[in-house]
Amino acid sequence: MIQDSPIPLILAGPILRKTTPDELVFWFVTSEPLIGHFQLFDEPEQALIYQADLAQCQQLKVGDKAYVVLAQFKSAFPTNVALSYQFKTQQGLLTDLVPSLVYQDEVNPVFTISTKADYVLHGSCRNPHHPSKDALVQADLKIAKLAIQDRPDMLMMSGDQIYADHVAGPMLDAIHQVIELLGLPDESFVSDEWQASTSIPNSTVLYQHPDCFYGRESILPRYQEQKDGVMQWLPARHKPIFSSRECHNHLITFAEFFAMYILVWSPQLWSRINLTRLADNRFTHGGKTLTPRLQQQWRDERDAISDFIAGLPNVQRLFAHVPTYMIFDDHDITDDWNLTIGWEKAAHENPFAKRLIGNGMIAYWLCQGWGNEPDNFQLELLPLAERYFSHATSQQLLTQAVTDPTLDIASTSPHSIAVSVQQETAHRQDDLIRYLYTFERWHYTIHTSPKVVVLDTRTRRWRSESRMNKPSGLMDWEALIEFHQELMHQDKVIIVSAAPMFGVKFIETMQRAFTWLGEPLLIDAENWMAHPGSANTLLSIFTHTKTPTNFVILSGDVHYSFAYDIKLRFRKCSPNIFQITCSGFKNQFPEPLLAIFDRIDRALYSPRSPLNYLTKRKRLKISKRDPDIPGHRRLVNASAIGELKLDSKGKPSQISILTGDGMEIYFPPIETKPQHLQVENALE
């Protein structure tokens, strides 16, 4: 139910982000600028060891009642001991404002600045209206039972933290209510370069459009596709740039992207959201009534979202206690993001498409990227963002325009002033987006032991030089060389790649077949082996003599979980490579399709299969771990969060997943499997 009480100070967060011996970073969204102090305590004695004025925090106003706060504190902090923190704000203590933040018997949220990465939670793909349970809730419930010294060193979220291209109707309506509550900025889609790229002039018209709900595919831009490969004889056709099969409610404006982050990470605003608003209006919006089928879909999605909301206090508490790092994948922006050079060209040449993608990147930077490595963004990006947001609230803009001494108000109509203000705001927004398109420092390294290297596999693609419709490599040569330098002379390392570096071969073969037919977008044909240049460079990195002895690769993306042990076939002293995939936090692969793919893959690509020598990975011997569940499946289809524990040498001592239903599933080492399973594997 919508409440008449004032909007709370804390709208989202705190999320504990970067934690190092000399830097602490917290992320918030607040309804007004934070005033007060940050305090850090030695937990056992409750002794104050550090204090800072919140005035030193970076606070970016993004709406009338919305401030993104990046609280970055630099000092010499104690490591590997229990610490607790408190924010003393103008409205009281953080823990009084959000009592559900602390675990039982805690006074303040407790955490550790760990110099290790021996216990890592990881996963991706969190879809609020998927009918499965949210695995982040189970992670919080488990941590509530652990002593501080037994808690994870970090939580790694490897992509698809939001589904911008697959939004439920009730969620989109909730997003629009948040935009109204917080006064998030309006947006203009008209300028000299836009011409006829869209018939929607601004966000106000978009939100009132008859196709705003379950019909945005008719609003989103299209392009004329040129076929290549074996299908090049077919005539060119007009195709949607945003080709997700579930793009009926695709997010478009910055305000929509930003509001969704608030709603999926914290429960505070949900008490002010009316989830029955459209139903109360007889499912009519913009003069259009939803069909009976869509009305039922709305009810089903509303039930799933109600369950999702119930778990958000747990998710907020988890984020407040465990250092949390993030990197984007496609759904944070849109499906097929930079999949082929043909897609990139079509999206970049259409101003409406470019704005949509740019809005997603602005929101990603504010809500995810900024907290990973704040110093990457200070010199150029932050001033551009401040320039745009300082001009982005309509009331502010009109006031500025009227008081601008360069304008002759007496001879200028209010309408002309409003148009001038909208155009200036659009120019500033486009300047910020143009910079984000060229930005190349989304990747980062966490300097723990082992070192954690987080890869950007979305914006630095190795584009195909032969065909416009051929999948790009996930990283270009320059990015791969930088990656290699991070690995040199390390004895152990954790690599975070959104997509598995070594995936399911049968599925990759299917993706290759669809690429050959000229339809890579149809089956999301992106994997590390899809592009010869990036595949060969990656494999050369693993075979280099000066790279680590133990590689652990953490991935998500694919909506199922598995674990592989990998060795070089033709080397006596091979490095140990472990591909560990957990996905999704709240998503699953369609059944029985995955069961069929699993069975076919086991039949065709066992370690002794000659078909392995026909793949780009012929230099590698890949052994698949069996999960400790009944049956013979190696691909586990369950919403889950991964748990990785490493020994002192950086080899996994435990690979497991914790499902949304609370079940723990382990992937034991191959040599410790029961004898009958070892025999079965040999026969394969």
Assigned token pair, 527 = 């994997």
Q: What is the pLDDT of residues 17-34, one digit of tens each?
A: 999 999 999 999 999 999
The fraction of the chain above a pLDDT of 70, given in percent, is 88
Distance CA 256, CA 563 (A): 36
Q: What is the 3-state secondary structure (H, E, C) of 198-235?
A: CCCCEHHHHHHCCCCCCCHHHCCCEEEECCCHHHCCCC
pLDDT score at 611: 79
The confidence band for 676, taking pLDDT boundaries of 50, 70 and 90, is very low
- Outline where DSSP puts E strands in 124-216: 154-157
In Å, how far are 86, 89, 92, 107 from 96, measured between CA atoms?
A: 10, 10, 7, 10
Assigned token pair, 597 = 């793919």
The confidence band for 457, taking pLDDT boundaries of 50, 70 and 90, is very high
pLDDT score at 683: 31
Residues 457 and 410 in one domain: no
Q: What is the pLDDT of residues 186-206, one digit of tens each?
A: 998 876 565 556 778 899 999
Residues 393 and 459 in one domain: no
Assigned token pair, 519 = 């339809």
Residues 537 and 612 in one domain: yes
- Is the pLDDT assigned to residue 255 strictly greater than 60? yes
Residues 503 and 615 in one domain: yes
Residue 472 contacts residue 342 (beta carbons within 8 Å): no
Out of 69, 93, 113, pick the residue that ends a domain: 113
Residues 338 and 476 in one domain: no
The burial class, CB within 10 Å (0-12 / 13-18 / 19+), for 525 is: buried
In Å, how far are 176, 205, 275, 287, 292 from 284, measured between CA atoms?
A: 15, 16, 14, 6, 12
Distance CA 626, CA 556 (A): 18
Q: What is the 3-state secondary structure (H, E, C) of 597-660?
A: HHHHHHHHCCCCCHHHHHCCCCCEEEEECCCCCCCCCCCECCCEEEEEEECCCCCEEEEEEEEC
Is residue 210 assigned to a domain?
Answer: yes
The confidence band for 450, taking pLDDT boundaries of 50, 70 and 90, is very high
Q: What is the pLDDT of residues 390-420, one digit of tens each?
A: 887 654 555 555 555 555 545 556 666 667 7
Distance CA 32, CA 63 (A): 10
pLDDT score at 520: 62
pLDDT score at 289: 96
Is residue 463 assigned to a domain?
Answer: yes
* Mean pLDDT value of segment 91-112: 96
Query: Left, alpha or beta for 70 (phi > 0: left; psi -120 to 50: alpha)?
Result: beta
Is residue 673 assigned to a domain?
Answer: no
Residues 458 and 313 in one domain: no
- Is the pLDDT assigned to residue 681 strictly greater than 60? no
Residues 407 and 548 in one domain: no
Residues 248 and 214 in one domain: yes
Distance CA 317, CA 657 (A): 20
* Mean pLDDT value of segment 357-362: 97
Query: What DSSP element (H or E) covers 515?
Result: helix 505-516
Residues 428 and 449 in one domain: no
Assigned token pair, 384 = 């551009």
Q: Determine the residue type at 387.
A: R
Mean pLDDT rounded to a whole number for the chain: 89
Q: Angle at the Cα of 217 (from 215 to 221), degrees rounded to 5?
A: 140
Domain count, the chain: 4
Is residue 675 assigned to a domain?
Answer: no
The burial class, CB within 10 Å (0-12 / 13-18 / 19+), for 599 is: middle
Classified as helix, coil or strand, 302 is helix
Q: What is the pLDDT of residues 156-170, one digit of tens each?
A: 999 999 999 999 999
Is residue 296 assigned to a domain?
Answer: yes
Out of 98, 113, 128, pick the residue that ends a domain: 113
Describe the crossing of helices 135-143 and 312-321 by its angle, rounded to 10 degrees. 60
State the residue range of the domain holding 25.
Answer: 1-113
Residues 105 and 184 in one domain: no
CA dihedral 30, 31, 34, 36 (to 10 degrees): -110
Residues 462 and 606 in one domain: yes
Residues 262 and 394 in one domain: no
Distance CA 635, CA 507 (A): 12
Is residue 265 assigned to a domain?
Answer: yes
Q: In this structure, what CATH number is given to the domain that contains residue 10? A: 2.60.40.10
pLDDT score at 615: 74
Is residue 450 assigned to a domain?
Answer: yes
Residue 235: count other Cβ atoms within 10 Å of its Cβ. Answer: 6
Is residue 157 assigned to a domain?
Answer: no
pLDDT score at 257: 98
Assigned token pair, 323 = 């250092």
Least trusted range by pLDDT, from 44-48, 454-458, 650-654:
44-48
CA dihedral 614, 615, 617, 622 (to 10 degrees): -80
The CB-based long-range contact list for 658-661 (8 Å cut-off, 24+ gap) reads 658/135, 658/138, 658/139, 658/142, 659/133, 659/135, 659/138, 660/132, 660/133, 660/134, 660/135, 660/137, 660/138, 660/585, 660/586, 661/133, 661/138
